[in-house]
């Protein structure tokens, strides 16, 4: 069951990343939607992830609205602060900030145990997604192609982050069993 959930989370991350990238190319003419669509799509993916992991209370509409809101705030913070941080390090900075923001929001709504386990794992997952994207970009130099850039950015980060959720979920479940 755990391996099945891991595979489904990875597929959810890939699917969410692809939808974010493709939707962005179609929505670019409406500037206000460009600021919202990644949060809407990844927030929905987080809601699906909660269902896959059997998080209590994840089926209600308020939960969906909360995770979409948290994801939207994380997206805007990551973009704004990440690009403010500078040239070579903005991907891991943005990834870590996005991961930290979402981790706080999910910790609260999912009522997790192990704050000091949950938050660092998801912050590191966010940073790792940014670093992995940066390494791939630096070795392949695909940044000339905006469509490929968007596909890889969203797909890599969201998949790594959902993998981090799986790891953090298992770690905090095991933590609550030992307490």
* pLDDT reading at 33 higher than 70: no
Instruction: Name 75's Cβ contacts closer than 8 Å, sequence gap at least 6.
Output: 38, 39, 42, 98
Q: Are 54 and 9 in contact (CB under 8 A)?
A: no
pLDDT, residue 67, reads 93
Highest mean pLDDT among 41-55, 107-121, 165-179: 41-55
Measured distance CA(127)–CA(133) in Å, rounded: 10
Give me the mean pLDDT over the 120-143 stretch. Answer: 90
* pLDDT reading at 28 higher than 80: no
* pLDDT reading at 162 higher than 60: yes
pLDDT, residue 121, reads 96
Q: What is the percentage of the chain residues whose pLDDT exceeds 90?
A: 43
Give me the mean pLDDT over the 140-148 stretch. Answer: 78
Q: pTM of this prediction?
A: 0.90
Q: pLDDT for 59-92, tens place per residue?
A: 678 889 999 999 999 998 888 887 776 665 688 8
pLDDT, residue 166, reads 94
Sign of CA dihedral 57, 59, 64, 70: positive
Q: Are 156 and 17 in contact (CB under 8 A)?
A: yes
> Which candidate, 35, 12, 11, places its Cα nearest to that of 23?
35
Query: What's the structural domain count of the chain?
Result: 1
pLDDT, residue 46, reads 94
Give me the mean pLDDT over the 139-166 stretch. Answer: 88
DSSP state of 89: T
Alpha helices in the chain (DSSP H): 2-27, 31-34, 37-52, 61-85, 90-110, 115-140, 146-178
Domain span holding position 21:
2-178
């Amino acid at each position: 069951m755990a391996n099945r959930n891991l595979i489904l989370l990875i597929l959810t991350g890939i699917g969410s990343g692809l939808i974010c990238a493709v939707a962005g190319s179609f929505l670019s003419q409406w500037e206000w939607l460009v600021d919202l669509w990644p949060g809407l799509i990844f927030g929905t993916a987080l809601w699906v992830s909660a269902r896959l992991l059997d998080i209590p209370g994840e089926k209600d509409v308020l939960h969906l609205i909360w995770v979409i809101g948290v994801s939207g705030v994380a997206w805007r913070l990551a973009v704004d602060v990440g690009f403010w941080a500078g040239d070579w390090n903005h991907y891991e900075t943005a990834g870590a900030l996005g991961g930290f923001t979402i981790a706080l929001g999910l910790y609260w709504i999912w009522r997790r145990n192990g704050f000091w386990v949950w938050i660092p794992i998801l912050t590191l997952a966010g940073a790792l997604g940014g670093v992995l994207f940066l390494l791939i970009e630096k070795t392949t130099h695909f940044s000339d192609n905006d469509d490929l850039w968007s596909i890889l950015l969203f797909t890599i980060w969201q998949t790594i982050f959902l993998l981090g959720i799986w790891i953090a979920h298992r770690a905090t479940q095991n933590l609550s069993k030992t307490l």
